[in-house]
Structure 1
């Protein structure tokens, strides 16, 4: 039955399902990306801060080597000595530690951003079930991870061997050359190994990142019935319906306000109602309502009209009648032709327009 259900999940997950999964902490995470960032950060710290760290450790230990007789090992001096050593080591290792923590955190943030999931940290009794834990140890996912790790180790070993072998052709000559030159050669080999390891880890991280995204999307796939059920659930929510109505009203109001500057006249109550009319003798059989509103919206229509030089006329009976009988983008009904014609004629005469 499970296989049948999985076979029916052919549709991409909806944004709601992905958002719900994110709230639960279910996001595609590649451990290899984290490993790469940590290794990259470690290599960067070693290359940039390695020499200064070595000098700091040398300076810290120099006093113990050159002047051991001056070390106070008494009961009163030991705490001071311990504090000085700890502060010195903290100063040496503090900045590299902070940088490594930053790179480790960046490895997770770059994949999915900040994910806060309380469900992941809540104690769950089923996690203490030994049978379930044993079952997880032999699951397909665990086997895939095991094969991936073994393959990664073999690949890294082969690549590093191929990279380092040319550098070891004259290793038997190292005892015969000066120590400084030997150390320089060893340092060069460490840098080469580090670059090769980071490059290979970057490729592995990229492949694993794509694989984890693919697997996550596969797990999140939905059946057509699940999409229908989710749609019914979300559309049936009173909060969502109210939100949709509010958005539609806001958009309709914005479109209506954009029509006010093209009107020929705005008839007001003067403050409770406002109806904006437009008349084009060549294309319209009668004046058309391009905007109307009550109370605050009426005031806004009047403000927009005045800002754009549209004539505003106070005629409470006509304003109330038109507000009640005509809708936006509809022509004035015949019973109001006479009253509206008088208003339009007056406005057109003021503007020097001809009615035809």
Structure 2
């Protein structure tokens, strides 16, 4: 195959490349398959309707050769004769035409399937270019088609000569028959020879169909750079995707920080972790929800906002790590941490009440809260 930008087309076409080619009308097609389907169906159909068609033709001949002299000069009689002739031949031929039509549709869509492309119908100036036409006439594809045509003619002609030679004695014996029998035998012989001659197309089809598949795949092959470019266009450039992720993370962080003032308490590991919890006491059976969490710089920012809005900040390293690793944002804490978090919230609520002069100063929290081993990080 030709090279593109110094690179050989060694990569198989991707699904996107195949889909785009199909949208443009570039699909594998075998003219030999369509031709063979039409000819075989026509030959087989003629054999099937030979009896009814022969009888209909006999009736037409008899009716038209027995016209009286007065009917020849009667326009209405001639129209009646024409109508009767058409009706006599129409029914046998309709079945033949329907069979050939179905065979044409199946034969031309069996390879590549049915495809309707508006892009292929659009006019293109490149198709009207004389230079492009000359390239197509003397290109590799034209050479292949020429060799195929010559090979088909030689093969079919050789097969036809062999077929005629094999039936030569039978053809000579037709002269010994009476006229009606000779015509029937000749027509029967002709139809069977036509069918066998059409069957000679099957080896050509067996060669052409795989070739068309291979040639279509060869034309759509891609260079390694084209595969990389397509991946970038489909998935996005890594630097662009990274920037989008950073922007999304920044937006998520801003939304999260806006929830920190609504928290009831912020549990921290003094140097790395911060987790903001909110508990709705008006909803019976509800559990505390994590409204913000973060590490390092984000953790420091959460603590900073909490102090600005006077949200209590409680230092409990083990609990902060446990909540951070076990609970997603805007989700309730797991059952195993209920007791430890309940103690923290009880302390915070008592502390807030004491600051308002509505109760005694609460007892400080224990250094070790009841945290199950599976939640310790």
TM-score of the aligned structures, taking structure 2 as reference length? 0.60
Cα deviation for residue 234 of structure 1 reads: 1.2
**Residue equivalent to 2:138:** 138
CA distance in 1, matches of 2:49, 2:26: 37
**Residue equivalent to 2:168:** 168
Partner SS for 1:160: helix
Cα deviation for residue 36 of structure 1 reads: 1.0
Q: Is 1:320 aligned to 2:322, yes or no? A: no
Q: Equivalent residues in 2 for 1:266-277 (5 A)? A: none
CA distance in 2, matches of 1:181, 1:5: 72
Partner SS for 1:116: coil
Contact 2:45 2:99 in 1 (8 A): yes
**Residue equivalent to 2:27:** 27
Classify 1:70/1:130 alpha carbon distance in 2 versus 1 (closer, same or farther; 3 Å): farther
Contact 2:43 2:194 in 1 (8 A): yes
Q: Equivalent residues in 2 for 1:166-205 (5 A)? A: 166-169=166-169, 171-179=171-179, 182-183=182-183, 185-187=185-187, 189-205=189-205
**Structure 2: runs of 5+ lacking an equivalent:** 242-282, 294-322, 343-377
Contact 1:164 1:189 in 2 (8 A): no
- Please report the RMSD computed on the Cα atoms of aligned residues, expressed in angstroms: 3.6
Cα deviation code 1:222-262 (max 9, x no counterpart): 1111111111111139xxx9xxxxxxxxxxxxxxxxxxxxx
Q: Equivalent residues in 2 for 1:1-356 (5 A)? A: 3=3, 5=5, 8-69=8-69, 71=71, 73-74=73-74, 82-169=82-169, 171-179=171-179, 182-183=182-183, 185-187=185-187, 189-236=189-236, 315-316=285-286, 318=287, 320=289, 326-327=327-328, 332=334, 335-338=337-340
Contact 2:38 2:103 in 1 (8 A): yes
CA distance in 2, matches of 1:75, 1:187: 34
How many correspondences in the alignment? 266
CA distance in 2, matches of 1:41, 1:174: 27
Cα deviation code 1:131-181 (max 9, x no counterpart): 433432222211211111111111111122223312213644442344455
Q: Greater shift after overlay, 48-57 or 165-174?
A: 165-174
CA distance in 1, matches of 2:5, 2:207: 29
CA distance in 1, matches of 2:96, 2:87: 15
Contact 2:38 2:107 in 1 (8 A): yes
CA distance in 2, matches of 1:157, 1:7: 44
Q: Greater shift after overlay, 119-128 or 139-148?
A: 119-128
Contact 2:13 2:222 in 1 (8 A): yes
TM-score of the aligned structures, taking structure 1 as reference length? 0.63
Say which structure is richer in helix. Answer: 1
Contact 1:24 1:118 in 2 (8 A): yes
